[in-house]
């Protein structure tokens, strides 16, 4: 008994010794690494340019025909920047109920009005998320000494979302006309007076594109080596061209591709990547494939103050592609309904709503859709969309029923299933998964249903992938492995049994 | 057992309170706007009244030129009253409203109070030039007590006083401001400006009307004597420089005098004007010379050209060698009356060997003499030619042994 006690004592002593040593080593090492931290050498010279795009509503100046002193481009530019900054700081102030920045862009007597409103909103626990989407300013007057300017800002499109006690109580879109007197003080053009001259409720005139018959037989496409990073440095037109040829040969007529928001440069779209995107459409056209372009991949902010940046992004891409023969449709966002929980349903839907308006205002020809992740969500915004698309990963037995009931709810709009498929992964992380022959049976059955009911479809996806970025399904290996095996062609480049049913039963 | 009842009671009460607070707008609630007025003057109390047939009390959304708020109603039996905060009712422009949870919306228009509280005045640039083409601009923003610019087309009078004249103009507000271009006259001076709107007068503002650019002018010179003694000073002066309207140019106008001497070198002196006259000074040359002088206001105007002649002041000097030709004394250097030349006249000694100049020494005269002490170590034993030069006169001594 004493022997055992002594052994226990020994073990405890030894373990505590190890623990103390480990703790001391950890302490010394963290002290050492702390002493080795410091400023990055490249930051010594302060050479970086700090200006970031924060707020870029569409601004269209009327041609200059002002009274007083003739305006020069540089001053007009400064006025524009300061004027938009004044709106931006006001949006921030009403969102946070703080007054930071207001003093820079409003004169002493003008800022009082904003402070009064903030005071009221603080006492009532009201916050406002707002932005302006369009400005149409006219310079009315510029004083001879260059210190005072009057502008009329026509048809300012304002979106506001008001919260009371953290609940949304109102969403409103207004079209207003303002008269603004600006003074140059301390190098800033500050708002001295702003007077709302006109206001009305605003709703975009939506023209829906009628498409008599869209018989889509397509596939979601990523090159095998660079899934979710199609336009990066490893972009290879030869591979894509070969893939498109293969897709065409299987009897499919269209593809669906994705444009990632951040890596395309957000508000100022990277020209090089845009060229690659156009090249992809050129290659598709060469194979007579139509392309559904899905915008805003990997974007999940939706905040109101981000809208103007999102709009400049979409505007650039849509403008660049809208006349392309290969373009089939615009998919505003892939599976936005999955963000309802984290970002709020109303917030996401409001974002989608304005983005549909924007895309349609640039491209009136091509149908606009949203790639809903399930059929249940697919009726949202259906009146604004030209094409209803959804993804179907549920049991095929219910497909006909789901499709029919959706068809009943949206009788005038064409329907396309833009993603479906199953993973043939069966292994360590998912021992009860489907085999490749299960996958083949699934696609055979799916094609049968599509054929019977004349359903347009786009499958997920051409290839099995080796690398799945964590942004797609997270870090969990069982998710990643499953995601990697949805293809018709395996990682070695051999066709899987399902390949036979890629476009027909 | 009693415990259970208490428990039940609490539960029921919680449930009841829930249903009470859950009471929200039903579709069939009807509200009707009872306030027909949509045009208001700034500063008035504004209350929007609605009749209702329900006991719900929706909030009202309001948005004016500066921002948006939500206000709560006051309930009076079958009507709801919403009193707009002063901060909204005081500012001109459109106010849009929406009754939350209903389809009712509308707008109000707030007009400025047509009474001037302040005359916000901007005048610039503060100085302009004569000639009836340059102008300054007066911007007047008459504002009411709530800091709103008055209505467009409100009349504003502008009053001026300049020299013996007083006059006034009438302008009208447009784009919430009023402005007037004020042109200069042909005379310089200070113009006083004020404005008036609806019996409220501004304070006094002034602008300076400055002369315009100078016209051509003449120059003269003045000196103690005409000798080139390298000591006295010649002063050049301009005539009174004026602009084309006969106004004396601004003090401080910079005038450059360019002097071209007989050997075509250019000397320069300059001065700035006081009461239209610029003066500039320069020391006499130390040898006989003729100067051509012309003055410029750079890039703008110029003077005529004058000629100034300087006579030779030293006609002859002696040179004495001593201490085995090591010490050379030049002098006495005598000026035009036989007086010793003032100190500081430059004397040059060139030493040549086989007609090649090997060294030059410079000395300033002192009490009429200049003495050179040669360091023999720097000259190998040989014969040299010495050339002595001062006041434009040169003397040569050959075969000097060192």
Chain A hits for B95, Cβ within 8 Å: 196
**SS3 state at B380:** coil
CB contact A147 to B (< 8 Å): yes
**pLDDT at res. A200:** 93
Domains of chain A: 58-201 (3.10.450.240), 217-501 (3.20.20.80)
Residue of chain A minimizing CA distance to B65: A196
Distance from CA of A113 to the nearest CA of B (A): 7
Helix axes A271-286, A237-249, angle to 10 degrees: 30
Query: Considering only alpha carbons, which residue of chain B is nearest residue A129?
Result: B68
Per-residue burial over B160-176, b if 16 or more Cβ lie within 10 Å, else e, is bbbeeeeeeeebebebb
Mean pLDDT over the full length of chain A: 92
Say if residue A170 is exposed, middle or buried (CB neighbours under 10 Å; 0-12, 13-18, 19+): middle
- Tokens describing residue A381: 């915004």
Cβ atoms B29, B53 nearer than 8 A: yes
Which pLDDT value is given to residue B380? 83
Q: What's residue B77's pLDDT?
A: 80
Share of chain A above pLDDT 90, in %: 84
Is pLDDT of A1 > 80? no
Nearest residue, CB atoms, B66 vs list A117, A147, A169: A117
Interval A356-413: pLDDT, tens = 999 999 999 999 999 999 999 999 999 999 999 999 999 999 999 999 999 999 988 8
pLDDT band at A343 (very low <50, low <70, confident <90, very high): very high
| Residue in A closest to B99 by C-alpha | A170
Cβ contact, residue pair A143, B92, below 8 Å = no
**Option in A148, A196, A198 nearest B64 (CB):** A196
Contact between chains at A126 and B70 (C-beta distance less than 8 A): yes
Average pLDDT over residues A155-173: 95
State whether B175 and A150 contact (CB < 8 Å). Answer: yes
Burial class (CB in 10 A: 0-12, 13-18, 19+), A427: exposed
Taking an 8 Å cut-off on Cβ atoms, the answer to whether B61 and A199 are in contact is no
Residue A304 distance to chain B (closest CA, Å):
16
* Cβ contact, residue pair B179, A113, below 8 Å: no
Size of interface A-B (CB pairs under 8 A): 121
Dist. CA A372–CA A413, nearest whole Å: 15
Q: What is the ipTM score, two decimals?
A: 0.84
Q: Do B85 and A174 touch (CB under 8 A)?
A: no
Q: Tell me whether residues B70 and A198 touch, CB distance under 8 A.
A: no
- What is the block-wise mean pLDDT of chain B (402 residues), using blocks of 10 residues? 54 46 51 92 94 88 95 89 94 95 92 95 93 94 96 95 93 96 93 95 94 95 92 95 94 95 95 95 93 95 95 89 88 89 91 89 92 86 90 88 80
Q: Which residues contact A26 (CB under 8 A, 6 or more apart)?
A: none
Q: Which residues pair with B349 in a beta bridge?
A: B361, B388
With beta carbons under 8 A apart, name residues in chain A contacting B91: 113, 195
Which chain A residues are Cβ-neighbours of B177 within 8 angstroms? 141, 148, 150, 181
Which residue did the predictor score with more confidence, A488 or A472?
A488
Asked if A168 and A190 count as a contact pair (C-beta separation under 8 A), the reply is: no
Q: Which residues of A touch B144 (CB under 8 A)?
A: none
Q: Is residue A159 predicted with pLDDT exceeding 80?
A: yes
Residue numbers in A near B107 (CB within 8 A): 199
pLDDT surpassing 80 at residue A259: yes
Q: Is residue A202 less than 8 Å (CB to CB) from chain B?
A: no
Task: Flag if A179 and B72 touch (Cβ within 8 Å).
Answer: no
Inter-chain touch A196–B65, beta carbons under 8 Å: yes
| Banded pLDDT at A212 (limits 50, 70, 90) | low
In whole angstroms, give the CA distance from residue A393 to residue A407: 18
pLDDT in tens, A29-85: 999 988 887 777 777 777 666 677 899 999 999 999 999 999 999 999 999 999 999
pLDDT recorded at residue A246: 95
User: Which chain B residue has the Cα nearest residue A171?
Assistant: B100
A304 phi and psi angles, rounded to 5 deg: -60, -40
pLDDT given at position A375: 92
Nearest to A375 by CA among A416, A411, A329, A412: A416
Which residues in chain A have their CB less than 8 angstroms from residue B122's CB? 143, 145, 147-148
Closest C-alpha to B344, from B326, B328, B365: B365
Phi first, then psi, for residue A115 (nearest 5°) are -60, -40
Give the number of other Cβ atoms within 10 Å of residue A397's Cβ. Answer: 9
Q: Where does residue A406 fall: left (phi above 0), alpha (psi -120 to 50 degrees), or beta otherwise?
A: alpha
Torsions phi, psi for B165 (to 5 deg): -100, 145
DSSP 3-state of B337: coil
Query: Model confidence over B55-103: pLDDT tens digits?
Result: 888 999 999 999 999 999 998 888 899 999 999 999 999 999 999 988 8
Question: Which site among A99, A139, A179, A190 would you substitute to test the B interface, given the most B Cβ atoms closer than 10 Å to its Cβ?
Answer: A179
Bridge partners (DSSP) listed for residue A132: A158
- Taking an 8 Å cut-off on Cβ atoms, the answer to whether A68 and B179 are in contact is yes
Give the residue-averaged pLDDT of A233-246.
94
Given this model, what pLDDT does residue B18 score? Answer: 42
Chain A interface test: which of B118, B139, B141, B150 (most A C-beta within 10 Å): B139
Measured between CA atoms, the residue of chain A closest to residue B139 is: A143
pLDDT of res. A441: 94
Is the Cβ pair B85, A120 closer than 8 Å?
yes
Domains of chain B: 28-111 (2.60.40.10), 118-210 (2.60.40.10), 219-312 (2.60.40.10), 319-401 (2.60.40)
Q: Is it the case that residue A207 has pLDDT exceeding 80? A: no
Q: For residue A64, what pLDDT is reported?
A: 94
Phi–psi pair at A353, nearest 5 degrees? -60, -50
Q: Report A:66-85 residues touching B (Cβ under 8 A).
A: 67-69
Distance between B66 CA and the closest CA of chain A, angstroms: 6
Q: Are A82 and A116 in contact (CB under 8 A)?
A: no
How many angstroms away from the CA of B139 is the closest CA of chain A?
A: 8
Selecting from B68, B92, B100 the residue whose C-beta is nearest the C-beta of A195 gives B92
Q: Which residues in chain A have Cβ-Cβ distances shorter than 8 Å to B137?
A: 68-69, 143-145
Is the Cβ–Cβ distance between B27 and B58 less than 8 Å?
Answer: no
Cβ of B137 within 8 Å of Cβ of A68? The answer is yes
Q: In chain A, what residues touch B152 (CB-CB under 8 Å)?
A: none
- Distance, in Å, from the CA atom of B209 to the CA atom of A2, rounded to the nearest integer, reads 113
C-alpha distance from residue A497 to each of A266, A487, A501 (Å) = 40, 11, 8
- Per-residue pLDDT of A375-386, as tens digits, reads 999 999 999 999
A463: tokens are 């290839």
Residue whose token pair is 């106008």: B253
Mean pLDDT of all residues in A98-124: 95
Chain B residues bordering chain A (beta-carbon distance below 8 Å)? 59, 61, 63-72, 85, 87, 91-96, 98, 100, 105, 107, 122, 124-125, 135-137, 139, 141, 147-149, 175-177, 179, 181
């Amino acid at each position: 008994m004493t022997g055992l006690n002594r052994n226990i004592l020994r073990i405890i002593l030894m373990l505590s010794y190890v623990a103390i040593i480990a703790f001391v080593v950890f302490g010394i090492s963290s002290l050492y690494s702390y002493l080795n931290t410091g400023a990055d050498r490249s930051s010594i010279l302060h050479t970086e340019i700090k200006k970031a795009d924060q707020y870029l509503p569409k601004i269209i100046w009327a041609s200059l025909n002002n009274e007083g002193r003739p305006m020069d481009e540089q001053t007009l530019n400064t006025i524009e920047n300061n004027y938009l900054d004044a709106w931006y700081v006001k949006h921030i102030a009403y969102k946070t109920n703080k007054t930071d920045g207001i003093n820079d862009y409003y004169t002493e007597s003008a800022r009082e009005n904003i402070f009064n409103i903030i005071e009221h909103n603080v006492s009532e626990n009201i916050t406002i998320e707002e932005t302006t989407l369009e400005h149409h300013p006219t310079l009315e007057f510029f004083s001879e000494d260059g210190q005072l300017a009057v502008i009329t800002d026509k048809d300012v499109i304002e979106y506001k979302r008001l919260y009371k006690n953290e609940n949304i109580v109102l969403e409103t879109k207004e079209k207003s006309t303002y008269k603004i007197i600006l003074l140059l003080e301390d190098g800033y053009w500050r708002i001295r007076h702003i007077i709302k001259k006109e206001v009305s409720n605003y709703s975009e005139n939506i023209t829906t594109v009628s498409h008599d018959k869209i018989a889509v037989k397509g596939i979601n496409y990523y090159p095998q080596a660079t899934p979710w990073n199609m336009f990066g440095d490893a972009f290879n037109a030869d591979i894509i061209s070969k893939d498109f040829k293969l897709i065409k040969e299987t009897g499919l007529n269209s593809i669906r591709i994705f444009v990632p928001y951040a890596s395309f440069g957000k508000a100022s779209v990277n020209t090089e990547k845009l060229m690659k995107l156009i090249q992809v459409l050129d290659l598709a056209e060469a194979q007579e494939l139509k392309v559904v372009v899905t915008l805003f991949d990997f974007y999940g902010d939706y905040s109101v103050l981000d809208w103007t940046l999102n709009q400049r992004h979409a505007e650039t891409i849509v403008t660049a592609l809208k006349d392309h023969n290969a373009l089939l449709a615009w998919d505003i966002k892939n599976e936005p309904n999955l963000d309802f929980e984290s970002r709020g349903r109303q917030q996401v839907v409001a974002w989608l709503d304005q983005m549909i308006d924007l895309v349609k205002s640039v491209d009136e020809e091509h149908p606009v859709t949203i790639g809903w992740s399930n059929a249940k969500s697919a009726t949202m915004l259906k009146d604004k969309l030209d094409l209803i698309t959804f993804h179907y990963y549920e049991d095929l037995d219910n497909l006909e029923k789901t499709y029919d009931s959706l068809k009943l709810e949206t009788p005038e709009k064409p329907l396309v299933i833009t993603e479906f498929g199953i993973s043939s992964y069966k292994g360590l992380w998912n021992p009860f998964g489907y085999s490749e022959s299960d996958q083949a049976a699934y696609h055979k059955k799916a094609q049968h249903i599509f054929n019977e009911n004349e359903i347009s479809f786009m499958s997920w996806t051409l290839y099995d992938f080796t690398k799945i970025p964590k942004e797609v399904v997270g870090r969990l290996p069982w998710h990643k492995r499953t995601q990697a095996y949805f293809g018709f062609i395996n990682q070695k480049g051999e066709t899987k049994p399902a390949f036979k049913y890629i476009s027909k039963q | 057992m009693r415990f259970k009842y208490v428990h039940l009671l609490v539960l029921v009460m919680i449930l009841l309170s829930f249903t009470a607070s859950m009471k929200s707008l039903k579709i069939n609630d009807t509200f009707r706007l009872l306030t027909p007025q949509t045009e208001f003057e700034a500063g008035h109390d504004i209350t929007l009244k609605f009749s209702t047939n329900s006991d719900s009390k929706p909030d009202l959304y309001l948005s004016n030129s500066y921002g948006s708020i939500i206000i709560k109603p006051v309930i009076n039996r079958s009507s709801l009253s919403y009193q707009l905060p002063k901060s909204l009712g005081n500012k001109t422009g459109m106010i849009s409203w929406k009754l939350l949870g209903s389809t009712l919306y509308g707008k109000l228009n707030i007009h400025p109070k047509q009474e001037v509280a302040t005359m916000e005045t901007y005048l610039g640039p503060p100085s302009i030039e004569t000639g009836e083409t340059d102008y300054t601009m007066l911007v007047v923003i008459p504002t009411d007590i709530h800091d709103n610019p008055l209505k467009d087309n409100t009349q504003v009078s502008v009053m001026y006083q300049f020299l013996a004249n007083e006059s006034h103009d009438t302008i009208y507000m447009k784009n919430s401001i009023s402005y007037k271009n004020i042109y200069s006259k042909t005379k310089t001076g200070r113009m006083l400006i004020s404005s008036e709107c609806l019996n409220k007068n501004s304070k006094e503002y002034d602008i300076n009307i400055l002369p315009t650019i100078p016209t051509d002018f003449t120059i003269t010179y003045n000196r103690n004597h005409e000798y080139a003694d390298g000591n006295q000073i010649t002063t050049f002066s301009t005539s009174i420089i004026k602009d084309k309207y006969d106004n004396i140019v601004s003090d401080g106008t910079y005038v450059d005098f360019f002097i071209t001497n007989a050997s075509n070198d250019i000397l320069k002196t300059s001065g700035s004007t006081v009461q239209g006259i610029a003066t500039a000074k320069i020391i006499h040359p130390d040898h006989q010379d003729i100067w051509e002088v012309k003055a410029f206001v750079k890039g703008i105007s110029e003077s005529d050209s004058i000629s100034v002649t300087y006579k030779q002041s030293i006609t002859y000097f002696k040179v004495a060698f001593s201490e085995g030709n090591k010490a050379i004394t030049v002098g006495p250097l005598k000026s035009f009356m036989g007086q010793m030349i003032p100190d500081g006249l430059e004397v040059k000694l060139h030493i040549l060997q086989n007609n090649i100049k090997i060294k030059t020494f410079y000395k300033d005269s002192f009490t009429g003499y200049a003495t050179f002490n040669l360091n023999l170590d720097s000259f190998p034993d040989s014969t040299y030619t010495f050339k002595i030069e001062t006041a434009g006169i040169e003397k040569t001594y050959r075969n000097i042994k060192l």
